[in-house]
Amino acid sequence: MRARAEQALRLRLHERGDHYVIASWRSLFVMIWYGGASLHALDAMERHEDRVLARHPDGITSFFVIRDIEITKPPGADVRERSEQLLEKYAPHLRGTAQVIEGGGFKASMARTFLTAVTLFGRSKVKTKAFGDTRQAMRWVGALPAQEAGVGEQAEALCAAIDSLSL
């Protein structure tokens, strides 16, 4: 029974790029950024998010992790515009979006504050929240209304699987 549970929690790896990793578990779409976003990575995200949504037309949850915040540069106007287009495209299908900015220090704290402000004053109706670690974020995701069964109960195992993803 234990081996079956561990097998069920194995993340499906969709793509590993030079500065991102894309994976999923059931309707949970996971993207890990290393050092910031790019148009190439956003195109890959769209391609794979479409596939996850096709398998889960009742809705998905996005779980974004930004690692190496100290080397992350602010996105250019083209990346911001493309991100907004994708948010608008997926908003009707999203249960929520967790944004994890790993690390301590001033830059990580400022990035989380910025994301919180953007969420508060943005136009999107998608429930979105910024976090400092994956465990807090997964507990929040597990408690979202209409969240798929299993996410909350498997939060720790999901976090361990996400934490193990790397370039």
Residue 140's domain is classified under what CATH number? 3.90.190
Give pLDDT, residue 113: 59
The sheet that has 20-25: what strands, in order across it?
Answer: 12-16, 20-25, 28-34, 60-67, 94-101, 128-131
Answer whether 125's CB lies under 8 Å from 80's CB. no
**Global confidence as pTM:** 0.87
Backbone dihedral angles phi then psi of residue 58, each to the nearest 5 degrees: -80, -5
Give residue 35's pLDDT: 78
The residue ranges of DSSP E strands in 76-152, in sequence order, are 94-101, 128-131
The domain containing residue 26 runs over which residues?
2-164
From first to last of the 167 residues of the chain, give the pLDDT tens digit: 444 444 448 999 999 999 999 999 999 999 998 877 899 999 999 999 999 999 999 999 999 998 876 656 777 889 888 988 998 999 999 999 998 988 777 665 566 555 555 554 455 688 888 898 899 999 999 999 999 889 999 999 999 999 999 87
Which pLDDT score is estimated for 20?
A: 94
User: Which residues does residue 21 pair with via DSSP β-bridges, in sequence order?
Assistant: 16, 32
Q: Which two tokens stand for residue 43?
A: 């195109």
Domain count, the chain: 1
Query: Residue 28 belongs to what H/E stretch?
Result: strand 28-34
